[in-house]
Amino acid sequence: MLRYLKQAKSALSMLNPDEVRARADRRPAVGLVFSSSRAGAEMEEFLAPGAVSRERRREVIRLVHRAVDSHTLGQFDLVLCEEGLPCPADSFPLYRDDPTRTINEILHEREPLGIALARNFYPFRKPVVDHIIASVARENALFAVASALPKILPSLIELPWAVGEFASDTAFITMNQFRMAFMVAAASDRKVGYGEQKAELTSILAGAFGWRALARELAGFMPLGTGLVPKGAIAYAATYVLGKGLEHFYGVGYGYTRAHRRDVYQLAYERGKEVVSATLGRHA
């Protein structure tokens, strides 16, 4: 758990929207290794599918270049290789029948490049946003539990940022949700910032004390210690629903219906219980 708390501290450097914009504004150069013009066209189609506008396709293609030989590979941020060819070192094969596998391998190895890839190349968008939402939801669930666990107080004292900068888990979780909102907007090719996202951030503030009150109420009805799981699960679910709602809003222009939000919350709550229970089990 301490490891996740330290990761969360590092992640909150992204609370500055300028940092998120800097990542998003990066224009990654992509090199392609292929054997025929047809294979090259298929790889370009993967990066700029028919779903994108003609103007966006032209912008994407400007970022894509044929990687002629090993001497030119170093100038690219990412190199994709036609499946079946001998792939150069540090390149990624583009699996024709399983492009999701290619995306996952890239994001695992080049995570810092994720937001820029999502902003510029449509196939990366949903995987990157899903990863952002799940990661922040997990961080918030574990912080909510950690703040209520006396056994790890010495560990928390080792992290002055956790005690000095955040008066409560509500403050930390709310700011982490702000960070998530910035990153989801950036990955979705939307404007990022406090002014640019005023409505979204106001909604986050409005909901913060609602889920906190619910967590306290549930914990109050349970024996000492057993309320940690619902408390963490609520933090997870509240963050997850918020993130998915933002993804939906940036994708189609409007948010979830109340019924849809409730269904997503129920599924996320169960997932949150699994995350918290597994963590507590490892620290039992």
Using one digit for the tens of pLDDT, what is the confidence trace for 125-143? 999 999 999 999 998 888 8
pLDDT tens-digit profile of 194-237? 899 999 888 887 766 565 555 455 554 444 445 678 888 988 99
Whole-angstrom CA distances from 131 to 94, 128, 134, 149, 187 are: 21, 5, 5, 27, 11
Distance CA 261, CA 248 (A): 11
71, with CB counted inside 10 A (0-12, 13-18, 19+), is exposed
In tens digits, what is the pLDDT along the chain, a chain of 284 residues?
455 555 555 555 557 899 899 999 999 999 999 999 999 999 999 999 887 788 888 999 999 998 766 677 778 999 999 999 988 888 999 999 999 999 999 999 999 999 999 999 999 999 999 999 999 999 888 888 877 665 544 444 343 344 344 445 777 788 889 999 999 999 999 999 989 999 988 888 776 656 555 545 555 444 444 567 888 898 899 999 999 999 999 988 878 888 898 899 999 999 999 998 887 776 54
106 CB contacts (<8 Å, ≥6 apart)?
A: 78, 92, 113, 117, 124
DSSP lists the bridge partners of residue 31 as: 65, 79
What the chain holds in terms of domains, given with CATH numbers, is: 2-23+125-282 (no CATH), 28-120 (3.40.50)
Length reported for the chain: 284
Pick the closest to residue 180 from 10, 5, 12 (CA basis). 12
Distance CA 215, CA 217 (A): 5
- Crossing angle between the packed helical segments 258-282 and 125-146, to the nearest 10 degrees: 60
Type of residue at 27: R
Instruction: Measure the N-to-C terminal CA separation of the chain; round to a whole number of Å.
Output: 12
CA atoms within 13 A on the CB side of 263: 5
Pick the closest to residue 175 from 204, 200, 148, 216 (CA basis). 204
Type of residue at 177: Q
